[in-house]
Amino acid sequence: MSNLFTYTIRIADSALILGQRMAEWCSNGPTLEEDIALSNISLDLFGQANGFYEYAAQINGEKSADELAFTRNEREFFNYQLVEQTNGNFGKTIVRNFLYDSFIFLFYTELANSSDERISALAAKSIKEVKYHLRHSKNWLIRLGDGTDESNKKVQDALEELWQYTGELFEMDTIDTELMKKNIAIDVSKLRPKWNEMIDSTLKTAKLNRPEDGYMASGGKKGIHTECLGFLLAEMQFLQRAYPNAKW
Amino acid sequence: MQNGNIKHIWQLLNTIPDPEIPVISIVELGVVRDVNLKDNLYTISITPTYSGCPAVTAFTNDIKKCLKENGFRNFKIKLVYAPAWTTDWMSKETKEKLNNYGIAPPSKIVICPQCNSKNTTLISEFGATACKAFYKCSDCLEPFEAFKCI
């Protein structure tokens, strides 16, 4: 696998897996408007994932975009562990998405300057949508944090639970550094100060406490995952596994 | 003759309605970026609107069907990603069509398509399709959809 291929599917995988999590909300949203919102975000994420998978399939002709999504095993997925975490209650979903949305907004903003034209174009397109995904998760976090004692407790608990998955967002490995030399990849470790600012100001408005940095999980980019991913893939890939090449 | 054909293709594409907002065509929406001819092959470049919009597949099929029905065989459809699609590409006339259809056109200030009031409130950033948000008019109290500005 070339570095460019791996770099591209890493981005696609995080979008796809979070998209699948959001799709689980379809018909289970707390209100009709929210149900539509969560499913719409899911569609945007699938669209973004598809753009990157199509490019990956072009770089390495072995698998099509659909095959990349539906016929790889858990250890072959390179998404961040944060995005595979279960939806839990609505508050937990909002916390997970806010932590990710604020990161990925900064990520795509930088990536839009990539020397790889296709990656740059896909990033520039994705920013437009991530902007309103971030507004959505941020506004809900503020309403829930600064809401009732119960809503505040639920989102604070979710923050404590999910904080350990934020460390790997800023990790660099040799694939990143190699591609950085060609100005294709970006230095994610440099996004941290801006991310900290976004998180701190929103948590303050939301009357939430920033968790202490403790143990940080790691490994998503190398294919190491929490047990949540296997269950998600089992559901998402069932049809193509049971009926290979089935079409609508 | 060949330039005439390119013009004809543009005219044909302009008759294809957006699958979800049939009052405007895919040309008016800004999805068709270019039509050109090289080595006897017409290339129609289209760009996706919102990444998650399922209408992109429909656009592609509609274009194929329309051109085939009008005798074109030697063409291909190419998906282009840059520059990213923006609502800024919609003309004033297109925005008026949306407004008359009951959808507030993309704009910084969202105006109620029923009573033209600027006193409107966002209900949800997400509507029945990827391109629309949901608003309410605080004067005539009618709920309405607004095209997202991106």
Measured over the CA atoms of residue A199, residue A204, residue A207 and residue A208, the dihedral's sign is positive
Tens digit of each residue's pLDDT (9 = 90 or more) over A154-184 = 999 999 999 999 999 999 999 999 999 999 9
- The pLDDT value given to residue B51: 84
Structure tokens at A43: 């569609």
Closest alpha carbon to A104 in A142, A68, A132: A132
Answer whether A123's CB lies under 8 Å from B81's CB. Answer: no
Of the candidates A44, A117, A125, which has its C-beta nearest B130's C-beta?
Answer: A44
The mean per-residue pLDDT over the stretch A66-94 comes to: 97
Answer whether A166's CB lies under 8 Å from A82's CB. Answer: yes
Task: Inform me whether the C-beta atom of residue B143 falls under 8 Å from chain A C-beta atoms.
Answer: no
Q: Which residue of B has its CA nearest to A120?
A: B82
B2 pLDDT band (50/70/90 cuts)? low
Closest alpha carbon to B10 in A20, B33, A85: B33
Q: Within 10 A of A2 (CB to CB), how many other CB atoms are there?
A: 12
Chain A (115-144) residues lying within 8 Å, Cβ to Cβ, of chain B: 117-118, 120-122, 124-126, 128-129, 132, 135-136
- For the purposes of burial, counting CB atoms within 10 Å of the CB of A48, is it exposed (0-12), middle (13-18) or buried (19 or more)? buried
Q: What is the C-alpha to C-alpha distance for residues B21 and B104, in angstroms, rounded to an integer? A: 12
Amino acid at A233: L
pLDDT for A223 beyond 70? yes
Structure tokens at B97: 């069509």
Answer whether A9's CB lies under 8 Å from A78's CB. Answer: yes
Q: Residues for chain B: how many in total?
A: 150
Of the candidates A37, A47, A118, which has its C-beta nearest B51's C-beta?
Answer: A47
B20 pLDDT band (50/70/90 cuts)? confident
Q: What is the C-alpha to C-alpha distance for residues B92 and B89, in angstroms, rounded to an integer? A: 10
A61 pLDDT band (50/70/90 cuts)? confident
Q: Residue B30: its chain A contacts at CB < 8 A?
A: none
HEC string for A170-207: HCCCHHHHHHHHCCCCCCHHHHHHHHHHHHHHHHHHCC
Answer whether A191's CB lies under 8 Å from A142's CB. Answer: no
pLDDT for A38 beyond 70? yes
Answer whether B104's CB lies under 8 Å from B146's CB. Answer: yes
Answer whether A87's CB lies under 8 Å from A25's CB. Answer: yes
Give the Å distances, CA to CA, from A15 to A18, A44, B57, B96.
Answer: 5, 9, 20, 36
A247 pLDDT band (50/70/90 cuts)? confident
Structure tokens at B141: 């109290």
ipTM, two decimals: 0.86
Answer whether B20's CB lies under 8 Å from A9's CB. Answer: no
Higher pLDDT, A176 or B1: A176
Answer whether A94's CB lies under 8 Å from A15's CB. Answer: no
Output b/e per residue, A83-114; b: 16+ Cβ within 10 A: bbbebbebbbbbbbbbbbbbbbbbbbbbbbeb
Chain A (14-53) residues lying within 8 Å, Cβ to Cβ, of chain B: 33-34, 36-37, 40-48, 50-51
Q: Is A60 helix (H, G, I), strand (E, B) or coil?
A: coil
- Quick one: what percent of chain A has pLDDT higher than 70? 100
Domains and CATH numbers, chain B: 2-85 (3.30.300.130), 88-147 (no CATH)
Q: What is the C-alpha to C-alpha distance for residues A74 and A79, in angstroms, rounded to an integer? A: 10
Give the Å distances, CA to CA, from A175 to A17, A18, A78, A149.
Answer: 21, 23, 12, 45
The mean per-residue pLDDT over the stretch A14-21 comes to: 98
- The pLDDT value given to residue B150: 85
B1 pLDDT band (50/70/90 cuts)? low
- Quick one: what percent of chain A has pLDDT higher than 90? 97
- Quick one: what percent of chain B has pLDDT higher than 70? 98
User: Mean pLDDT, chain B, as a whole number?
Assistant: 91
Among A109-113, A136-140, A168-172, B71-75, the range scoring the smallest mean pLDDT is B71-75
Answer whether A86's CB lies under 8 Å from A156's CB. Answer: no
B127 pLDDT band (50/70/90 cuts)? confident
Provide the edge-to-edge strand list for the sheet that holds B41-46.
B32-38, B41-46, B75-79
Tens digit of each residue's pLDDT (9 = 90 or more) over B82-123 = 898 999 999 999 999 999 999 999 998 999 999 999 999 999
User: Mean pLDDT, chain A, as a whole number?
Assistant: 96
Domains and CATH numbers, chain A: 3-242 (1.20.1260.10)
Output b/e per residue, A153-191; b: 16+ Cβ within 10 A: ebbbebbeebbbbbbbbebeeebbeebeeeebbbebeeb
Residue B76 host element (H or E): strand B75-79
B130 pLDDT band (50/70/90 cuts)? confident
B19 pLDDT band (50/70/90 cuts)? confident
